[in-house]
Amino acid sequence: MPSSLDHPVGADQKPSLFSINGLCYTYPNGVQALSGIDLNIDSGESIALVGQNGSGKTTLIKLLSGLLKPEKGTVRYKGESLSDPHLSRVRPEIGVLFQDPDDQLFGHTVLEDVAFGLRSQGVSQADAVPAATDALAQVSLTNMAYKPPHRLSFGQKKRAALAGLLVTQPKVLLLDEPTANLDPGQEQVFLDLLKAFPGTLVTISHDLIFLYELCDRAIVLDQGRIHRDCAFCELVSQRENLRANGLDFSFRMFVTKDGLESDTDSPDKCPRPAPSPKISPEGAPLVVLRDYAYRYPDGTSALKDVRLAIHETERVAVVGENGAGKTTLLSCLIGICRGQGEFLFDGRPVTRPVRRRLWRDVGMVFQDCADQLFCSSVAEELGFGLRQLGCSRNESRSRIQQALSLVQLDGFEDRVPLHLSGGERKRLALASVLAMKPRLLILDEPTAGLDPQGEELLLHILKDLQVTLLLVSHDIFFINELTDRTLVMHRGGIINDLPTHAFSTDERLGNLNGLSFVYRERSAAAVSLLQYEHEHKHIHQHPHIHTHRHDRITHVHRHEHAHAHRFLHRHPGDDKAHAHLTWPYHTKDHPTHEDGADDHAHKKD
């Protein structure tokens, strides 16, 4: 196991905050989640815990927080085994942020929930409330203190859950996918909060670009074992290793004009689409909405004055901050919700009977694919919609095979959907819709919860589809790759309809709608530089002036010696052949020899 970071505990050193030795854990159903974990975590470290879905990350977090007991081995916190009574004592010091904030907000009001940790320790109501109010102020939710948690937006729920941890002033935060399903604006808010946290951070995320500025150390888990333990920069700079662990996100690298994009030599970077010409599709649009509005049953306005036309084979993205009305718009297009205004599909007004048949032409993959998987086998799942369509048994069989092949799930017919991985379930949901051959395919946040390998596979599948596409996403890379046109939604209306390229280069639009991707672009550019222009340590020989003293006689003479120094080298990309030129000797004075290393520029190889 390669390990470039080692954390030995010497006699004169402080013991690690967490010390894990020979840790194994097997779930009651026999699935071995972790085996042979040896790990030390020091106080103040910020660690990225990465790995493919099912690699054991969440199990490790649960063991670090004392929620699970080790099957074998030990988990020590501050030198003592993490079990009662030590565990009860240190519980407030270890905060766990779960992926779904609804799991964590069980209080009647936000304030009551945030105060829960303190009240559980026996702190009086009078003391707990001001502390909880302070914690809410840290996450800018003071004005929501008495709101029931179920009425918060997703981003607010995430911040409220974090406040519930901060109130006990923890020394360690264990975070499971802290930014999953957040829009870029909320993501930035969350990032700032985590950066300001003074203690130890252990963060699980598939989003290595998000982790780039947050973490200094990376632990890669693979099938329950630590595969790598290294500096975070080292992890992201080596594509081969990322790919080997299913973490290579480089396919989605999005670099700015200031970064490598302007460099024509930039190797193997993901090509950004050229500016699209003004789209002027011919023929009647497939979907038309005019002055369309929708109100929820409680009277809240979700859509207003929506005007929209989508032509056959167009690929359109819908973007907007959380709560802008994107999902409601999709629900109307697919006939789940009925708004007011003009709605034409294929030139015909969508009356009640037409709306009831819309599902034959419009397919939708939900953000959480668990919402549309309810059969006991993959084949049944695909056959469900085909049966409603009235397909014969032979035709169903043929369509099921085609759809499974399209999403690379051949041979999965008898598998149980519930037991598939996250990426497989997402592709199954897509296949169950594609089998029905929809004319309009709607995708709601297709990358949510996928690891980079799953994302890359999904991207390839979606790129090859010949179908009218409507994509709702916060993922600017997927939007760029898959669509030509972008609709920007804000507070229930479409405020902009423009070519995708124009959208992705318009910072004003991004900032206006909380969709600013500045942080991601900055991190991606930095990672890109690390990947393609990274450091080697080579032995070089230097001519050298050295002072020699022989008793009272001092003389200076020139000689050569070899030593290592930093050497920046730019790769043309993993798949392209390139040579590392060697310079056994090159001439350069080394005036600071006595002081150690001498960094200097090399000729471009």
Partner 1 sequence: MADIIQYPLWQLPLLILMPLGCIAAMVICLRRLAHRKEIPRGEDPDWSVPSLDDDTGATLLHRWDVRAKIVTLLVYSFAVASLEHLTPSLLAVVLSLTAMAIARVSVVRVLLRLLALSGFLGMLLVVLPFTVPMHSGDTVLLFGGIQWLSFNVRGLLLAVTIAAKAVAIALLMEPLLATAPLPVTLNGLARLGLPEMVGQMVLLSYRYVHVFLHEARRMASGMRVRGFRKRTDLYTLYAVAGFLGMLFVRSFERTERVFDAMRARGYTGRFPEQGEFRLQGRDILLASAWILAGGALIAYDRIIL
Q: Which of 542, 581, 571 is nearest to 559 (CA)?
A: 542
CB of residue 200 to partner 1, shortest distance in Å: 16
CB of residue 349 to partner 1, shortest distance in Å: 20
- 318 or 362, CB closer to partner 1? 362
- 444 or 521, CB closer to partner 1? 444
Distance separating alpha carbons of residues 438 and 532, to the nearest angstrom: 42
- 418 or 597, CB closer to partner 1? 418
CB of residue 374 to partner 1, shortest distance in Å: 4
Q: 581: Cβ–Cβ under 8 A, 6 or more apart, which residues?
A: 605
End-to-end alpha carbon distance in the chain: 32
CB of residue 147 to partner 1, shortest distance in Å: 4
Which SS3 state, helix, strand or coil, does residue 240 take? helix
- Give the residue carrying structure tokens 């923890």: 170
CB of residue 144 to partner 1, shortest distance in Å: 5
- 390 or 596, CB closer to partner 1? 390
Q: What's the angle, vertex CA 459, arms to CA 446 and CA 269, rounded to 5?
A: 125
- 371 or 535, CB closer to partner 1? 371
H or E element: which one contains 301? strand 301-310
CB of residue 600 to partner 1, shortest distance in Å: 52
Summarize as ranges the residues that interact with partner 1 (CB under 8 A). 62, 65, 67, 88, 91-92, 94-96, 98, 100, 102-104, 106-110, 112, 115-117, 119-121, 125, 142-147, 149-150, 164-165, 168, 298-300, 331, 334-336, 359-360, 362-364, 366, 368, 370-376, 384-385, 387-389, 418, 432-433, 436
CB of residue 512 to partner 1, shortest distance in Å: 22
Question: What is the 3-class SS of 524-587, one letter each residue?
Answer: HHHHHHHHHEEEEEEEEEEEEEEEEEECCEEEEEEEEEEEEEEEEEECCCCCCCCCCCCCCCCC
- 197 or 477, CB closer to partner 1? 197
- 167 or 527, CB closer to partner 1? 167
- 229 or 381, CB closer to partner 1? 381
CB of residue 580 to partner 1, shortest distance in Å: 49
Q: 421: Cβ–Cβ under 8 A, 6 or more apart, which residues?
A: 53, 54, 454
Q: What percent of the chain is helix, strand and coil (3-state, nearest 5)?
A: 35, 25, 40
- Please give the single-letter amino acid code of residue 469: L
Distance separating alpha carbons of residues 175 and 199, to the nearest angstrom: 13
- Give the residue carrying structure tokens 């099912």: 54
